Amino acid sequence: MATSMARESEHISDHLLTNSQPINNLPSLNINKRSNPDSPDNLPATQKQNTRQIRRRNSIGDLRNIEKRHQQHYWLKKISETVTPLIEKQVQKCIAAHVEPIKKSINEHEAKINDHTEKICRQFIWLNKIDTQLKVNSRILDLWDSELEALHKTTKDMDSRLESQEQYSRRTSLRFHNIQVPVDGHGKILHPVNTDDKILSICNSQLGLNLSINDISRSHVIGKDKYDKCQVIVRFMFYRTRDMVYTNKKYLKHNEDDGRIFVKRAENSRKELINSFGDISDIERGITASPNQQRSDTDRSPEANEVNNSQQSNNGE
């Protein structure tokens, strides 16, 4: 059947090729023909006609190899259906060998990125909370700073007022040094000490005043004792009484009642404090040396004195 169809297709193609020009069954007219009657009616086709016939044949198509082409496409399709899965499988294996590590790495990095993103989100929320708390604390600190500044100003004012009050309270007070007080065998003061009587005794006997117990507000011992003596602070009732005692303190200068000894070399000389026996010996040597020096000066002859005076004048020049 295939051979018969091939023959028919060849016959049709031959018929198409031979009948590419229209068949003219009419008698040929000799109008515009060559005058030579021997020339045949069907001359060979020109080059233009051959080109036109080839174009027509190509446009219609060559139907002689349809079956062959159909068989080739069939086997190519079968081969492609068989080979294509094998090729795809091999290609996928090759690609998988290189792609799988990359996918695994990408998945690991995505997991890490997600973990870091979650941590960053938590830290961002935490930082926002801290920022909010810091703003609140900053406002509280500003408020406290203003309150502290006001308190500092108040404290400074109170210190100034307290200092002024203390100055006013001290204006009627005096401190007495080296007041004899009773002590025990260990050198500790035996309380209570009647400091009022001791202060009245000093003021009346040594300063020449006439004070009474009513002139003293209060008095007490301060500090530690030193050689059975200590300091006593006294607050008088009135400022004038305190000023009178302070003015007469000059009478306590060089007072022997405190145990100190003063000596004068002459009636008009300064007082010298005696701290030890050595000071007394030095004063005695000085006193005995001065008359002997005066006597030796008087015993010298006038001529010697003149020589000495001339030498002193020369040295002065």
Q: Tokens for 220?
A: 């007490």
* The pLDDT of residue 196 is above 70: yes
Q: Cα(89)–Cα(91) distance, rounded to whole angstroms? A: 5
Q: What percent of the chain has pLDDT over 70?
A: 69
Closest residue by Cα to residue 129 from 121, 140, 118: 121
Give the pLDDT band of residue 67 (cuts 50, 70, 90). Answer: low
Q: Tokens 């009484």: give the residue.
A: 241
pLDDT tens digits for range 131-182: 999 999 999 999 999 999 999 999 999 999 998 888 887 888 889 988 888 8
Task: Report the alpha-carbon distance of residue 204 to residue 244 in Å, rounded.
Answer: 12
Q: Lowest-pLDDT range, 13-22, 197-206, 223-232, 294-303?
A: 13-22
The pLDDT value recorded for residue 311 is 44
pLDDT in tens, 72-111: 677 778 788 888 888 888 888 888 788 888 888 899 999 9
Tokens 């929320």: give the residue.
125
Question: Residue type for 63, please?
Answer: L
Q: 287: which residues sit within 8 A by CB, 6+ positions away?
A: 265
In terms of Cα–Cα distance, which of 217, 220, 215, 218 is closest to 241?
A: 215
Length of the chain: 317
Two tokens at 298? Answer: 């008087």
Banded model confidence at residue 118, pLDDT cuts 50, 70, 90: very high
80 vs 73: CA distance, rounded Å: 10
What percentage of the chain reaches a pLDDT higher than 90? 20
**pLDDT higher than 90, residue 266:** no
Q: How far is Cα of residue 284 from the mean position of the Cα atoms in its chain? A: 77
Residue 144: the pLDDT is: 94
pLDDT at 8 over 80: no
Indicate the CATH number for domain 173-256.
3.30.70
Q: What is the per-residue pLDDT for 290?
A: 60
Q: What is the mean pLDDT of residues 238-258?
A: 79
Distances (CA, A) of 191 to 52, 148, 182: 156, 45, 8
| Helix intervals (H) in the chain | 2-18, 47-60, 66-170, 195-205, 239-247, 277-299, 302-316
Higher pLDDT, 317 or 236: 236
pTM value > 0.85: no
Confidence of residue 193 (pLDDT cuts 50, 70, 90): confident
Which residues, 6+ apart, have CB-to-CB distance to 12 below 8 Å? 63
User: pLDDT at residue 247 above 50?
Assistant: yes
* pLDDT tens readout for residues 274-310: 777 777 788 777 777 665 555 555 455 444 444 444 4
Q: Is the pLDDT of residue 264 over 70?
A: yes
Q: What is the rounded average pLDDT for all residues in the chain?
A: 75
